[in-house]
Structure 1
Amino acid sequence: MSKKKSVFIQGEITSDFIANAIAKHQTKTEIGAHNIFLGQVRKDIVDDKTVAAIEFSRYEEMANEKLHTIREETFEKYNLTCMHIYHSLGTVQTGGVCFFVFVSAPHRPQVYEATEYIVNRVKSEVPIFGKELFEEGTHQWKKNI
């Protein structure tokens, strides 16, 4: 079993954070492929109201436990060298990155399959909630799709 990693980041996941995560893997010469998924806050229009931001929250204990399980099961299922999952908490403006999955493996087929597997499981199983904040001041809870 691997140690539990910190997944949650306050606010937007910045380009510098993403670039640094990639740069740290250049010394791991057993890696032949990386794959990245970036979830970005869309400027949706819902009932004639425009989304300005999403405010993310989570049920902490359950979210951390579920993410740890997904991590362990992904390592069992795929031949990965590294896996990183990060999700925003708090407010992220439209255009900002709020979800970052980064996997590495000796060969490319594993990284494609593992990335999709992780993203789908996080979106469907982890209790992370998004409150869409509209430009005119109202809000609604977002449904994960």
Structure 2
Amino acid sequence: MMKKKKNIFIEGAISPEFIAESIAKHQTKMNIGAHNIFLGQVRADEVEGKKVSAIEYTCYKAMAEEKLSEIRERAFEKYDLTCMHIYHSLGNIKAGEICFFVFVSSKRRKQVYVATEDIVNMVKTDVPIFGKEIFEDQDYQWKENTF
């Protein structure tokens, strides 16, 4: 049975309230024994003497959604997961704000640890989400993902 398509992309930063609501929604699922959460936060990196004040995220939505669907399928085939949620910000996200949220649930804890790292790495390498680092002086450069 095909699950309904979820909105993965969030305009603006991912709020602590959104994260808390996501966790709270799982209290009714009694077959879950473990959750793991990855939160990606915009860093105020210094590049050639200039400080990053924000990252502006864009994506090629149709391709990104297709890739995320493939990642979801691979993760459920590879790991014994109960639930998996991926959210990524679009737009201008200030340093210190959350831009990437992966929430993985399973019957046992071992699965959620390895699955979360694998899913985060697949999103970073396979999904066409682009970040433009905006410096305090409003100059910018395209961000390269690092591990």
Q: Is TM > 0.5 for Structure 1 vs Structure 2?
A: yes
Q: Which residue of 1 aligns with 2:7?
A: 6
CA RMSD of aligned residues (A): 0.7
C-alpha separation between the residues in 2 aligned to 1:93 and 1:137?
13
Stretches (4+) displaced over 6 A: none
Q: TM-score, normalised by structure 2?
A: 0.97
Q: TM-score, normalised by structure 1?
A: 0.98
* Structure 2 residue identity aligned to 1:89: L
- Uncovered stretches (5+) of structure 2, i.e. residues with no partner: none
Q: Which residue of 1 aligns with 2:39?
A: 38
Q: Which residue of 2 aligns with 1:56?
A: 57
Q: Give the % identical residues.
A: 65
* Structure 1 residue identity aligned to 2:138: G
Distance apart, 1:7 and its partner CA = 0.6
* Structure 2 residue identity aligned to 1:72: E
C-alpha separation between the residues in 1 aligned to 2:22 and 2:91?
21
Q: Which residue of 2 aligns with 1:106?
A: 107
Distance apart, 1:37 and its partner CA = 0.1
- Uncovered stretches (5+) of structure 1, i.e. residues with no partner: none
C-alpha separation between the residues in 2 aligned to 1:64 and 1:27?
28
Structure 1 segment 59-78 matched on structure 2, within 5 A? 59-78=60-79
Describe the SS at the equivalent of 2:101.
strand
Q: Which residue of 1 aligns with 2:118?
A: 117
Distance apart, 1:19 and its partner CA = 0.3
Q: Which residue of 2 aligns with 1:83?
A: 84
Say whether the 8 Å CA contact 1:2–1:72 is kept in structure 2.
no
How many residues were matched structurally? 145
